[in-house]
Chain A
């Protein structure tokens, strides 16, 4: 249901990078492996419609992502793709539940407070609903960012180095949450990492060289 075909990208420095074709079926959980500088982030950006590749196509659930207009693409991403970044990057001026609510509103979906409660409860941080980001620990913030990524029940959940800034205990917890949340929301999961702690949990891997 997700296919990446003959994609290549040209960095502004002049360097050319080509990616192997990639076919991902619905509900699969993939690990994207590669050392830093190997193009992991570039491939993720291409996959999520953030960066238009020079050549090749990305197809998600039958939609050719780069045929959409800028506005349609933003909307499509909001509704179909959830992204977890290395750092949580929540909006400081908004409370935890408001941070999830803007994800609903930006995606053009109606505000659904029950869904917010549901997600926060499943992540074990329902009591932090009205707190502001600066009151939470790194581990808690990363959970909120997972919550934000799954709030709209995306078809594709992508995590870019989600564990690299966390200690062992939190890294395991976050990884388990990602696996659990992708199953719970029937989302395809792709985790990009160079973190060896993560590898064992996945059977499918896409290796960048």
Chain B
């Protein structure tokens, strides 16, 4: 009969208080596990999606909003930028690659992105089936989109105006699925890609429809406006000028651009430049407050758990000091008693920690599978190296909680305990 088995049996003789201690520790560790996994995964996702993008140029407004809408596709765009000015920037010597984005429509909440082949090379996309879009109203869809919407090559679907909601469907033109992407592990999985012209055309006709309706109703008021529009349409270069983009993703040609290019954009044009790295950091520091609070909360729980294990061991030591003295008379050394008490505390905390880590993973997987937002899907089936610190933390709590009772057991004067009877 080994000392470990004695500890084990002793814990099982008090199942309720042992279970309470394990639960407390598991709860604390569980929260920490979830925080660790979630923040790492979100951080990874942010990094992965903004990888290789040095700068985003868009309409003036909140730089964070610009980044969120044009890199992570979660917020609304800040507005539109004129195509002509955007192209001037794209051709600037500072720029290695510029990816134009035209947003504005969705299909069942999935954003339809008008862009060009630069997008493909930026995200290093590959098709699983079919080919990339080439003509108007051809679309290449992300792997997750294909799966969730059950779309196949050759299928037709309609875009709806806006970034969510399907009240205002563009029924004039349907998109035809020309290709399906491989699973990329980035935003492209949840996007529908097409060419920019498709997005424009969709809206030109849309706007014309509206204009007709308006002119039918209140001719006088809108006469001037209508006139000016018609005037534009006569001259082709100016019509070209009227065309707009939502944003431009920029890759710098050299590190020198970092200093020059953003200033160029912000000072000489009516557009703004936002750096994904900077804005991600800012976003993370905003989320960080909540994460920090939860972290402290979890640590507090762990601390309470440690106290609880300590009290549990300390009280049981009072009851058991006679037992322990008897063990000494049976030949057990001081060190062995020390070991028995330590083992009890460590078994509780290790069991609690492992259970907590397991629970954390399971809960996160559960949260992930019930998540609405597809752009930040979390998974519980990821094991991080950092979890070893959680385990070490649990071990430290076990040692902290059991060291005092164990030392007491080590030091106890068996003669006086036995004499008191």
Contact = CB atoms under 8 A, between A and B. Distances in A.
Interface of A: 41-42, 45, 48, 50-51, 70-71, 74-75, 77-79, 81, 83, 85-87, 89, 91-94, 98, 101-108, 111, 148
Interface string B287-330: 00000000000000000000000000000000000110011111
Nearest to B5: A98
B254 interface: no
Interface in B385-419: 414-415, 418-419
Given A78-B329, A111-B1, 7 more contacts: A42-B419, A45-B415, A50-B328, A81-B329, A92-B13, A98-B1, A98-B9
Contact of A74 (B1, B9, B326, B332): B332
Nearest to B332: A106
17 contacts: A42-B419, A50-B415, A50-B418, A74-B333, A77-B329, A78-B329, A79-B331, A81-B329, A85-B418, A91-B6, A91-B326, A93-B6, A94-B1, A94-B9, A106-B327, A106-B331, A107-B330
- B2, B327, B332: residue with the most chain A Cβ atoms closer than 10 Å: B332
A91 B331 contact: no
A78 B331 CA distance: 4
B421 interface: yes
A107 B331 CA distance: 5
A36 to B, nearest CB: 11
B270 to A, nearest CB: 79
**Interface pairs A-B: 7 shortest CB-CB:** A78-B331, A93-B13, A51-B415, A107-B331, A106-B331, A106-B332, A106-B330
Nearest to A104: B1
B337 to A, nearest CB: 10
Contacts of B326: 85, 89, 91
Contact of B419 (A41, A48, A77): A41
Interface in B3-30: 6, 9-10, 12-13
Nearest to B335: A71
Contacts of A74: 328, 331-334
A184 to B, nearest CB: 20
- B6, B13, B322, B418: residue with the most chain A Cβ atoms closer than 10 Å: B418
Contact of A148 (B328, B330, B414): B330
- The size bracket of the interface on B is 20 to 34
Contact of B322 (A45, A70, A89, A101): A89
A106 B336 contact: yes
Nearest to B336: A106
B345 to A, nearest CB: 16
Contact of B1 (A83, A92, A101): A101
A93 to B, nearest CB: 3
Nearest to A72: B333
A50 B9 contact: no
Contacts of A108: 331
Given A86-B421, A87-B421, A94-B9, A105 B328 contact: no
A207 to B, nearest CB: 20
A27 B52 CA distance: 91
A92 B329 CA distance: 17
- B329, B333, B419: residue with the most chain A Cβ atoms closer than 10 Å: B329
B331 A75 contact: yes
A117 to B, nearest CB: 16
Contacts of A102: 1, 6, 327, 330
- B2, B333, B419: residue with the most chain A Cβ atoms closer than 10 Å: B333
Contacts of A89: 322-323, 326
A44 to B, nearest CB: 9
B330 A94 contact: no
Contacts of B418: 41, 45, 50, 85
Contacts of A83: 329
Nearest to A87: B421
Contacts of A104: 1
A149 B307 CA distance: 38
A70 B334 contact: yes
- A79, A87, A93, A108: residue with the most chain B Cβ atoms closer than 10 Å: A93
